[in-house]
């Protein structure tokens, strides 16, 4: 028995969750991120763990890590300069995309510039047909010509995305062999190896995002491995994945596309764990950190999954936990334009220089500064004493906004919060409409450093009556990575009608996926525990343009039960679109297999119920709803199961600050979660 450590690196803080495998106790820590020296915050956190909890690096038996290195490289376009090799006459695959306007309500909206400009796209001779057969062999000479031209234009890597490679990758692999012979210094990324999804744009954009970020991710993970070994951590590091699982860091060096959204996915996994434990059937997680606010729908203790989630400007078509960005984080900067309109975000102060109240050089007002002016924060240091709060500096920053708006300092600060909440309200309303759900039927679960600070205010606007704030909300993403299963997804395109003649091909494809999944988890992940395999199929009615992912049962596949598969598809279509056609023919476009191996879950201790009322640390003045009001100030560590109190109130913790507005009542449950509901 030892200690398990989960780490999540955000825009402002790096969060640490430490699980004692013997007692089940979870300890937490935050340190400031180091954007100029990625990875240094991990070592600083390990030093802090040793000092605070007397846990030596050698006692760490399991280490998981979520990183934003890859996603930041894509967002900031600071990855390598890529060349894209395509089949002749398909040079504009990235430029054309899906011909969708980013914002249909904005006539001036523009699609983002591709990661690979047209001047860096080169055509190869050779052609495969839709069934994977060869119409024209690949011409090695055209590959050599393309390599020479790409190198002249400064290419640092090559993405190969050839027509119909999802059915037959032979042309991509042959071209890769030519490049390795004539330019062994160039890294090469085959789209069919990155993710063999049908449709050229989807496969190509996913491969280019992967190729753009992969060298930086590989360098970072290599440096992390070396630093951990030097620090005395003997456990092989694991990295969190976009699909809510984990994999060995060594594999992450070549599979970076699978971990681009790891932080947001880990947060949803942690929120799902808390929801299951608390008995909440329908939850809406709200992860607000320093730079972003993200929402996931959690039903029956599990988050939703999907494809096409965006990384910066680009969709990535790999299986991911379905998380939607709905606004800026606590570091979102407020500004007033020439017309006197107040906006908040998307620009963030991050950790350097950070909000003005941090006293680290920031001078522009942020959400955190506004909350400081209103009196919600500034009563103690933040982030485990890593940041001291200067209320005077916060006031000076907000004064610039106040002058531009012609309002008092307090009214300007409240306006900043109202604008930020309004933006989140708008995006969550759109998300609920797309999902076909009513936000008022969910329990809002805010977490992250700024989630508990803003969550109850957002719930009021959305009409949500229940808010659950986890016991350690500021580090829930780190906890999510710590409890995530080892997990991977495998895909094969079959393009088969769901009828008896197709059964042999469908069965054979699932057999290959099954074998590949078992090899991956046993040989590449060295996992020897209980393994779960979940087959599914991407199906549609013949003639439709897009598919629905439908979970299947292994025994249906074993006995060739086409009727059961068809019934599952009809039911899924009915749920999603409100109708189904049982008489219509069905196509299975792609088959997939998800393999997972469960890691040990923490058994969080339950508290005994107390009958005494909570005792506040002091009483402070808040400015909320346009007026100053007295409010009790509680310490989260002093609250016990059964304690209850009414808002307005503030709850201080080392990892976050919880703000409870007027009209809401707070109660502590047996797992130390804070439950907010309308006051009677």
Same domain, 35 and 134: no
Q: Is residue 408 part of a domain?
A: yes
Task: Tell me the pTM.
Answer: 0.87
Confidence of residue 397 (pLDDT cuts 50, 70, 90): very high
How far apart, in whole angstroms, are the C-alpha atoms of residue 271 and residue 303? 9
pLDDT(37) > 80 = no
Q: Of 418, 447, 467, at which residue does a domain stop?
A: 418
- 224-240 pLDDT tens trace: 898 899 889 999 999 99
* Percentage of residues in the chain having pLDDT higher than 70: 99
Tokens 């060096």, residue?
A: 253
Same domain, 46 and 90: no
- CATH number of the domain bearing residue 13: 3.30.420.40
Same domain, 388 and 412: yes
The residue-averaged pLDDT of 536-552 equals 93
Same domain, 60 and 108: no
Q: Is residue 273 part of a domain?
A: no
Q: Is residue 131 part of a domain?
A: yes
Q: Is residue 103 part of a domain?
A: yes
Q: Is residue 48 part of a domain?
A: yes
How far apart, in whole angstroms, are the C-alpha atoms of residue 397 and residue 409? 10
Same domain, 69 and 115: no
The residue-averaged pLDDT of 117-143 equals 95
Confidence of residue 11 (pLDDT cuts 50, 70, 90): low
Same domain, 376 and 410: yes
The residue-averaged pLDDT of 495-522 equals 95
Structural domains counted in the chain: 4
Look at residue 347 in the predicted model and tell me its pLDDT.
83
- 95: Cβ contacts below 8 Å, ≥ 6 apart: 114, 118
Q: Is residue 455 part of a domain?
A: no
How far apart, in whole angstroms, are the C-alpha atoms of residue 558 and residue 575? 26
Q: Of 597, 626, 645, at which residue does a domain stop?
A: 597
Q: Which of 289, 247, 563, 304 is nearest to 442 (CA)?
A: 304
pLDDT(35) > 70 = no
Same domain, 351 and 405: yes
Same domain, 512 and 593: yes
Name which residue leads in pLDDT, 128 or 319. 128
Same domain, 516 and 588: yes
Average pLDDT of every residue of the chain? 91
Cα 669-300-660 angle, rounded to 5 deg: 35
CA 582 vs CA 324, 556, 589: distances in Å: 33, 18, 18
Q: Is residue 288 part of a domain?
A: no
Look at residue 143 in the predicted model and tell me its pLDDT.
97
Same domain, 149 and 227: no
Look at residue 298 in the predicted model and tell me its pLDDT.
93
pLDDT(634) > 90 = yes
Confidence of residue 345 (pLDDT cuts 50, 70, 90): confident
Same domain, 119 and 180: yes
Name which residue leads in pLDDT, 579 or 263. 579
Classified as helix, coil or strand, 106 is coil
Look at residue 605 in the predicted model and tell me its pLDDT.
74
Q: What is the 3-state secondary structure (H, E, C) of 383-436?
A: CCCCECCCHHHHHHHHHHHHHHHCCCHHHHHHHHHHHHHHHHHHHHHHHHHHHC
Same domain, 490 and 589: yes
Q: Of 564, 597, 630, at which residue does a domain stop?
A: 597
Q: Is residue 438 part of a domain?
A: no
Least confident of 32-46, 185-199, 283-297, 420-434: 32-46
DSSP-assigned letter for residue 284: E
Instruction: Identify the domain containing residue 162 by its residue range.
Output: 81-186
- CATH number of the domain bearing residue 570: 3.30.1490
Confidence of residue 463 (pLDDT cuts 50, 70, 90): very high
């Amino acid at each position: 028995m030892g200690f398990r450590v989960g780490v999540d690196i955000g825009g402002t803080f790096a969060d640490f969750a430490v699980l004692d495998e013997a007692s089940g106790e979870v300890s937490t820590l935050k340190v400031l991120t180091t954007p100029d020296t990625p990875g240094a915050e991990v070592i600083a956190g390990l030093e802090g763990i040793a000092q605070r909890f007397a846990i030596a690096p050698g006692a760490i038996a399991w280490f998981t890590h979520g990183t934003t290195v890859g996603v930041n490289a894509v967002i900031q376009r600071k990855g390598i300069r890529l060349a894209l090799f395509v089949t002749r006459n398909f040079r504009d695959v990235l430029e054309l995309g899906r011909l969708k306007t980013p914002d249909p309500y904005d006539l001036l909206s523009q699609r983002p510039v591709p990661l690979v400009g047209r001047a860096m796209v080169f055509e190869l001779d050779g052609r495969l047909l839709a069934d994977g057969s060869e119409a024209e062999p690949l011409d090695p000479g055209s590959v050599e010509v393309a390599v020479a031209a790409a190198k002249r234009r400064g290419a640092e890597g090559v993405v190969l995305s050839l027509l119909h490679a999802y059915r037959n990758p032979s042309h991509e692999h042959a071209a890769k062999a030519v490049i390795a012979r004539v330019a062994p210094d160039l890294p090469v990324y085959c789209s069919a190896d990155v993710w063999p999804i049908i449709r050229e744009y989807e496969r190509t954009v996913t491969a280019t995002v992967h190729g753009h970020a992969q060298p930086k991710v590989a360098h970072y993970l290599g440096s992390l491995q070396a630093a951990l070994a030097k620090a005395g951590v003997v456990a092989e590091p694991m990295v969190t994945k976009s699909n809510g699982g984990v994999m060995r860091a060594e594999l992450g060096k070549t599979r970076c596309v699978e971990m681009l959204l790891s932080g947001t996915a880990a947060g949803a996994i942690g929120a799902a764990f808390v929801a299951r434990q608390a008995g909440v059937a329908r939850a809406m997680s709200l992860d607000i950190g320093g730079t972003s606010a993200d929402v996931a729908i959690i039903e029956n203790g599990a988050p939703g999954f999907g494809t096409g989630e965006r990384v910066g400007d680009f969709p990535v078509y790999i299986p991911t936990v379905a998380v939607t960005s709905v606004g800026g984080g606590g570091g979102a900067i407020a500004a007033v334009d020439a017309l006197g309109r107040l906006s908040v975000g998307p620009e963030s102060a991050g950790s350097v220089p950070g909000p003005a109240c941090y006293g680290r050089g920031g001078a522009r007002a942020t959400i955190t500064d506004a909350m400081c002016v209103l009196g919600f924060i500034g009563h103690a240091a933040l982030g485990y004493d890593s940041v001291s709060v200067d209320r005077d500096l916060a006031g000076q920053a907000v004064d610039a906004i106040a002058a531009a708006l012609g309002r008092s300092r307090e009214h300007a600060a409240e306006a900043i919060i109202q604008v930020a909440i309004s933006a989140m309200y708008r995006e969550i309303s759109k998300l609920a409409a797309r999902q076909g759900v009513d936000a008022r039927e969910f329990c809002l679960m805010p977490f992250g450093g700024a989630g508990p600070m803003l969550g109850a205010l957002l719930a009021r606007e959305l009409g949500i009556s229940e808010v659950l704030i986890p016991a350690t909300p500021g580090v829930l993403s780190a906890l999510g990575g710590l409890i995530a299963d080892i997990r991977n997804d495998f895909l094969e395109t079959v393009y088969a009608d769901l009828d008896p003649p197709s059964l042999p091909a469908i069965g054979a494809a699932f057999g290959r996926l099954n074998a590949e999944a078992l090899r991956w988890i046993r040989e590449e992940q060295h996992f020897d525990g209980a393994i779960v395999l979940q087959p599914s199929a991407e199906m549609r009615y013949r003639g439709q343009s897009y598919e629905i992912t439908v979970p299947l049962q292994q025994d249906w596949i074993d006995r060739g039960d086409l009727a059961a598969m068809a019934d599952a598809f009809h039911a899924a279509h009915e749920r999603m679109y409100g109708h189904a056609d049982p008489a219509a023919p069905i196509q299975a476009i792609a088959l997939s297999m998800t393999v997972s191996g469960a890691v040990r879950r923490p058994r969080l201790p339950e508290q005994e119920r107390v009958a005494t009322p909570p005792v506040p640390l002091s009483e402070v003045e808040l400015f909320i709803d346009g007026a100053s009001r007295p409010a009790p100030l509680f310490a989260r560590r002093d609250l016990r199961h059964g304690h209850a109190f009414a808002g307005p109130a503030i709850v201080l913790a080392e990892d976050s600050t919880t703000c409870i507005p007027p009209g809401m009542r707070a109660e502590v449950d047996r797992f130390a979660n804070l439950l907010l509901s309308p006051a009677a």
